Amino acid sequence: MQGIREDILATLPRQKEIPKSVDLPLSNNAKQALSYGAEEAERLSDRQIRNQHLLLGLMRVEGSYAAQMLRKKGLDLANLRLRIAQLQPEEEKAIHGTGGEGGTRWTPQSPGVPAGYAWPRLLYNPASETLILELHGAGKELLPTRLFMRHKDAEAYLQIDSPDEDLSYESPVTCDKQPLVVFNSIRWDKSRTGGDWAGIYAFNLHTRELALCVSKESLIFEDPHTRAWVSALVFLADDGRKLFVNVGIERSSGSGGAVNYHLASLDLTTKRVELIAPLKDVFF
């Protein structure tokens, strides 16, 4: 660690002392690393963004000096990810117990819910009287996020669809009036070092029919941009047609690509995105 610190200091230009009250702006690489770090924390089911998550986030910023230097020091993202997944923070041990090496932090009790997952998120759809669980993988193996459902009077959960092993179903939303759950999807590469937005799906809780509502190709965003994607779903209107989302937008700039996030509305019928407000202080 000391060697890495010395290498970093050796490459930095000498700067005048900056008052502590001054807030330094973040570079695009720093913003991207923070966003990736938050994503890594969520995938490991940690409710806090820790140093190890930021380290993984730095290594995912392709072409950055930090990523290049860490690789030269022999760090490999895939192996480091697996090693970090086996660690359990001390504060989690104190609250939940050790759980054994690589043990999960939540033990499922309901039939149909698999082991190896943690921190379940619960939704309820009144129109179909159905409970919906979003489960995140935890432990030694990095598992894709999965969705499960059961009627309020049933005992066992059923998995929603049978997605590919590299496809995560996540960030579900539902509404009062329609028997629907709408969710985002991320397709991970084989080494699980990065993921691409794959689209938004709708699942009918009565008929059990799954439909791809919006894909990368069908998303309509009129402002000039290099690429755009939906990072998370926020709210589904009662008509089941209008969706509020966090959308990431990359625009070309003199130093490369600048990424900004916005709260936006998305019409699931027309596939059109309308920006509502910038999200400058929160990274998704």
Structure confidence by residue, pLDDT tens digits, 77-129: 777 777 777 665 544 444 444 444 444 455 667 899 887 777 678 999 999 99
Q: Tally the C-alpha atoms within 13 A of residue 26's C-alpha that lie toward its C-beta.
A: 15
What is the per-residue pLDDT for 18?
56
Which CATH code fits 24-91?
Answer: 1.10.1780.10
What is the per-residue pLDDT for 191?
60
Break the chain into its structural domains and give their ranges: 24-91, 105-278
Q: What is the mean pLDDT of residues 44-59?
A: 80
3-state secondary structure the chain: CHHHHHHHHHHCCCCCCCCCCCCCCCCHHHHHHHHHHHHHHHHCCCCCCCHHHHHHHHHCCCCCHHHHHHHHCCCCHHHHHHHHHCCCCHHHHHHHCCCCCCCCCCCCCCCCCCCCEEEEEEEEECCCCEEEEEEEECCCCCCCCEEEEEECCCCCCEECCCCCCCEEEEEEEECCCCCEEEEEEEEECCCCCCEEEEEEEEEECCCCCEEEEECCCCCECCCCCCEEEEEEEEEECCCCCEEEEEEEEEEEECCEEEEEEEEEEEECCCCEEEEEEECCCCCC
4-8, 165-169, 220-224: least confident range? 4-8
Q: Are strands 227-236 and 210-214 parallel, antiparallel or unpaired?
A: unpaired
Q: Please indicate, yes or no, whether the overall pTM of this predicted structure exceeds 0.75.
A: no
pLDDT tens track for 219-251: 998 878 888 899 999 999 999 999 999 998 888
What is the per-residue pLDDT for 45?
62
Helix 65-72 and helix 2-11, axial crossing angle in degrees, nearest 10 = 140
β partners of residue 210: 203
Decide: 236 and 173 in contact? Cβ < 8 Å: yes
Give backbone dihedrals phi and psi of 67, rounded to 5 degrees, phi first.
-65, -45
Alpha carbon distance 209, 189 (integer Å): 27
pLDDT tens track for 249-270: 888 766 666 788 899 999 999 9
Q: How confident is the model at residue 32 (pLDDT cuts 50, 70, 90)?
A: confident
Q: How confident is the model at residue 62 (pLDDT cuts 50, 70, 90)?
A: confident
